Each structure stands twice: as C-alpha cells, then as structure tokens.
Structure 1
Amino acid sequence: MKKTVFSLLLLCAAAVGANAQLLYKISGKGFAKPSYIIGTHHLANGSFAEKIAGVKEALDRSEQVYGELSFDDMMNPDSMKLMQASMMLPEGQSLKTILTPEQYKKLDDFLVKTMGVGISNPQLEAQLGRVNPEALVTQLTVIIYMMRHPGEFDPANQFDHYFQKQAKESHKPVGGFETVAFQTNLLFNTKPMKRQIEDLMCFIDHEAHFSELIDTMSKAFYNQDIKALKAVMDTKLGDQCDATPEEEAALIDNRNANWLRLMPAIMQARPTLFVVGAGHLPGDKGVLEGLRKLGYKVE
C-alpha cells in the first residue's frame, strides 16, 4: 500500500531535466506520430495537470487515452459491487474475530487517537468491522492524508481521472491495461491473511513514518522529480514491515512488463497518451527504460 502512492512536482525551470519530468514523448520504430506517457499520483488533484508543460499538446495530438483502468468500467454498478466485495472479509469473519484482543485494542486506540472514535464504537464497527486489513490500511492512508492536508485532495477531481475526462469530452476512445477484477484482487486479496494483519499492525506502529513517506511522495510528485520518487520507493525500515521482493514484483515489476507487452500494438493502432502511476516510470525495470529497450525514443 505504501507503494500505491507514488509521484512528483516541478523543480525550478533550470532544474527541469531527465530526472524532473512526469510527461514523456514516445517516438521511433517507424511511427508517423508520437505517443506520450505521464505519471500520476493517486492523491493529487486533477487541476495540477494543467500546470504541467506539454499536457495540452499531448492530449491534442493523442487519438486515445489509456490508463491502468478505464474509469467508466470502474464506476459501473457491477464493478462497484466487485470492488466492495474484494475489500470485505469472508462471510462470518470480522476484524474482531481475526485479530487478537491485543491487536484489536491497538487498532481501537489508534483510531481513537487519529479519528476521535474507535472500532469498538458500534457505528464505526458497522462501517469498518468487516473490511479486510489491506483495504483498511488503504482507507486509513487516504483519511490521514486528508486530515493532514485539509482541502488539498478532492476525491471527485483526481489527477488520475483528469485525462480520461478530457478524452471523453473530445470524443476520443479510452482504454485500460487492467480489469477492475484484476486490480482489486491484486490490491486486497493476494496476500495471506497473516501478512495482511502484519501490514495493518505495521501501519499502526509506524504511522508517523508512513505519513511522512506519503507527504514526501506528494512533494516529489508536485516537483515532477522522478529521481526523488525512486528514492522514496526504495526507502526501507529494515524489518518485516518492508514489502518483500515478491510483493514489490507483483505490484510494480510484473505489471510494468505486462504493459510493455501491450503498448506497441496500442501505439500502432493510434497515437496514445498513457496515464499510469508515476512509480511505474523510473528504474531499470520501469516503463521508461523498458520502452527504450524495445527500441523507442523516450524524451
């Protein structure tokens, strides 16, 4: 989860260079028109897109937009039901039954401290009592970020959504690399319950660290600093709270490789603006380097 929040912001004009950019042009391999790719941040507002140099040109020149998901698919009633079901514990289970009394009290105390009301409150228990630990960490991350930064994040105007909205207004096709079923399963259901509980306890025990990490990621996003983003992604606590290599591969590397398999045919069909989490761009296994290895010019 700490890995699902990546991205960055504008350095000063003189510093904007190879390591300070969110938007890239993809050309070469005989394509008559270029495609583009931009990194996003799930906690950034859509209005920031208009402050990034070249965004209007990329949208105008692209004939379709591709995201991690198609938000139309994500918002249809069947997908909403699927997402809700993916975030819930199996029938007959609750946080109270899967956590030890000590863990449950720790969660209750944490919620009282951060939100003013604990899970032992009947109303909150009715809302969150059957949410699985991984989904709860995701929800708490957003809630705590919004509490620390009042007015900075508008869930109804997310940076991720901006580009698909613009495409629809221009009557351009919108596509997605992944299905809602795949992504919700990846985020909330692939880890064993023991590991999910461990993640929840780690979040509670190190809340200040993770909140600071998210703030640093957000600052990096608004600086458009890919180098700083990679540094944040590589930050480790040095204990069991760090993502395992297998968990990191599932969340980042394996998906990058799959997208890179799909992108050539998508670009061949139409000049495309790809919109993906900025954490997928940098590094030896990142999408930018992957495109270069495929023979494209990325600038």
Structure 2
Amino acid sequence: MGTYKAAFFSVSLAIVLLGLVWPKVGSCDTPETKEKSLLWKVSGKGIKTSYLYGTFHLVPKDQFSLPRKVTQKLEKSETVVFEVDLDSPKLSRMISKSMHMAKPIESLMTVQDYTLFAKFVRDSLERNMQTFRYIKPAFLGQLLLYPKLLGYNPESYDLALLNLAKKERKDIQSLETPEEQVALFEKTSLETQTSQLLQNIKQFDRQRKLMKGMLTLYQQEDIYSLYDLIKAQSGSEDSEDLLLNERNEKWMAPLLAMMQKSSSFVAVGAAHLPGEQGLIQLLRNQGYKVEPVLR
C-alpha cells in the first residue's frame, strides 16, 4: 500500500483500535425485516440515479470479494466519491506529523502496564518497542495490532474501488479534507488513547473474535446488525456522534450537490449507511428513494 494511501487507513483504523468501534459482548436486536445489502440505489426528483456502497476499509486477503453488481454500478456512474482523497500527499504529511509525540509512550503508563505492553510487542508481535516509543497510542494500535488481527497483506475495498475509478477515468471526489480527517483523531486525549490501547492488548483474543464477527456480518451484507454491534459498545454515544452522526449530517449537502450534477457512486464505511442518522435514512427523510440493490 502506498505511503499516501496508507495515511487514510492510519486514521480510520486507529479509530477502530482505540476501542471506539469495539462492542461489548451481547446480542443484537436488529429486526429481521431490515434489508440486507451493502449497495443501495438512490433516486428522486432533482438528482441523477446514484449509489451508496458500504466498505470495510481493510479485510484479510482471503476474505476480499468485490461483487460484479458493485463494479457494474461504478462503471455506469460518472462520479466516484470517497470519504477522503486517498492520493493526497497533504494527508500523508499531516498524519506523519500528527502521529508523533514529544514524550515516550512509557510516560503515559504505569511501570506494570508498560512492562505488559512491551512484552506483548516483543512476544506476540515480534517487534522492538524502541522503534515505537514516540508514536501516539492510537497509531500504535493501527501499526501493531491491526496486522496481527487481519494479516500483514490485507486488501482494501476503498483502494480497489479507487483503482477501478481511475481505470474508468471517472471524476473522483471526496467528502472530507485532510484537516477534517486528522481532526477526528486529535479529539481523543493521549490518556484515553493509552487506556484503550492497553484494554485492547489485555483483551486481544476477544478483540480477534469480535473482528471475525464484524467481518462475518459484513460478508452477509447485514449492515444493520453490524451497526448494532458498533452501537453496543461502552460509552458509544459520544464516539457515535463524532465518528458517524456528525459526519453523516455534514456530508449530506455535498452528496446531494454531486448527485444533482452527475450520477454518483459513493463509497464510505458501512457503518455510515444504517441507523436513524445514517445516510440511508437521512436521504429518505428528504424524500429520496433509497432501495437495496440485490443483484
């Protein structure tokens, strides 16, 4: 994965591994009547027929599959829209600057916790802790834990779609600036990042099972059950507003402007689609028809 494109995932996956998207163990109560699809057709007065597609930013290589119905709709669209410009050198520079801190990681932990952390890095990840001492805890989660969860050569739906959009010479647009992406990360204190990183290490086996469960729901195209898992986490209200609801609301105006101008294929994280404040319902609230594309 190129340096510039990896920058986007450094933010997105750090957010996941901060514990902000890890649910508590428990059952979901999603009604069975909810439509199951990752791909949704958007139509109505004043806009060109467009599509929403929910991505899972990185998946194990052997679990990656891009359905033909998805590639067909992208090929028929004039504009392809992502959360952020995946080719942005500016985003890469900003994240590189943001991920470093002046004090070493051990200054944020007790001696006991740092010993546990260093042992995990050495024994489970086979890495030298000295390399990572001045990297913020959230980024350490992305750099150290995520490869262990998904394998060291995962595939990206976003990058696969970007490459196809380039091949088809589509107009490529983004919903957020590099500044907005980095700001999401900066809103979490170093102390909170440290606490959540340690929790993820202490519960690593459980985190692995939860990731497997999330991937299974994604492969089943069950975005509503996936959304319920995300909502079922501890302290989810603030993070849900920050990472999903506020961004969905902010995206509506530019999304509609793009759909009015040209037929658009919009690829964003799957958790942005369902829910009362998800993109599907927000579009329906404004009178647009949003329906699952089943084949």
Give distance in 1, aligned partners of 2:58 and 2:251: 23
Give distance in 2, aligned partners of 1:125 and 1:112: 7
Count, aligned residues: 265
What does residue 120 of structure 2 align with?
110
1:286 and 1:254, CA in 2 relative to 1: closer, same or farther beyond 3 A? same
1:217 and 1:135, CA in 2 relative to 1: closer, same or farther beyond 3 A? same
Give distance in 2, aligned partners of 1:209 and 1:233: 15
SS of equivalent to 2:84: coil
Shift of 1:218: 1.0
What does residue 95 of structure 2 align with?
83
Letter in 2 for 1:219: T
- After superposition, what is the alpha-carbon deviation per residue over 1:108-164, rounded to whole angstroms, capped at 9, x for unaligned? 1222342235xxxxxx234211111111122233122134xxxxx734x41111222
Shift of 1:81: 2.2
Give distance in 2, aligned partners of 1:61 and 1:202: 45
Structure 1-normalised TM-score? 0.81
Which residue of 247, 255, 260 corresponds with 1:263? 255
- Runs (4+) of structure 1 exceeding 6 A deviation are none
Give distance in 2, aligned partners of 1:220 and 1:5: 14
What does residue 40 of structure 2 align with?
24
1:250 and 1:219, CA in 2 relative to 1: closer, same or farther beyond 3 A? same
Give distance in 1, aligned partners of 2:183 and 2:150: 25
Give distance in 2, aligned partners of 1:261 and 1:219: 32
Which residue of 55, 59, 62 corresponds with 1:40? 55
Q: CA RMSD in A?
A: 2.4
Letter in 1 for 2:105: L
2:75 maps to 1:60: yes
Task: Indicate conservation of the 8 Å contact 2:118/2:129, yes or no.
Answer: no
Give distance in 2, aligned partners of 1:46 and 1:27: 34
Task: Indicate conservation of the 8 Å contact 2:138/2:193, yes or no.
Answer: yes
1:202 and 1:142, CA in 2 relative to 1: closer, same or farther beyond 3 A? same
Shift of 1:3: 4.9
* Unmatched 5+ stretches in structure 1: 7-15, 118-123, 148-152, 237-241
Give distance in 2, aligned partners of 1:46 and 1:296: 37
Which residue of 201, 204, 207 corresponds with 2:201? 204
SS of equivalent to 1:72: coil
Structure 2-normalised TM-score? 0.82
Letter in 1 for 2:183: N
Task: Indicate conservation of the 8 Å contact 1:5/1:217, yes or no.
Answer: no
What does residue 239 of structure 1 align with?
none
SS of equivalent to 1:19: coil
Task: Indicate conservation of the 8 Å contact 1:49/1:55, yes or no.
Answer: no
2:210 maps to 1:213: yes
SS of equivalent to 1:39: strand
Q: Residues 1-299 of structure 1 correspond to what in structure 2 (within 5 A)?
A: 1=16, 2-3=19-20, 18-31=34-47, 33-44=48-59, 48-50=64-66, 52-73=67-88, 76=89, 78-89=90-101, 91=102, 93-117=103-127, 124-147=128-151, 154-155=153-154, 157-187=155-185, 189-236=186-233, 242-299=234-291
1:203 and 1:254, CA in 2 relative to 1: closer, same or farther beyond 3 A? same
SS of equivalent to 2:206: helix
Shift of 1:173: 1.1
Give distance in 1, aligned partners of 2:235 and 2:141: 14
Task: Indicate conservation of the 8 Å contact 1:213/1:232, yes or no.
Answer: no
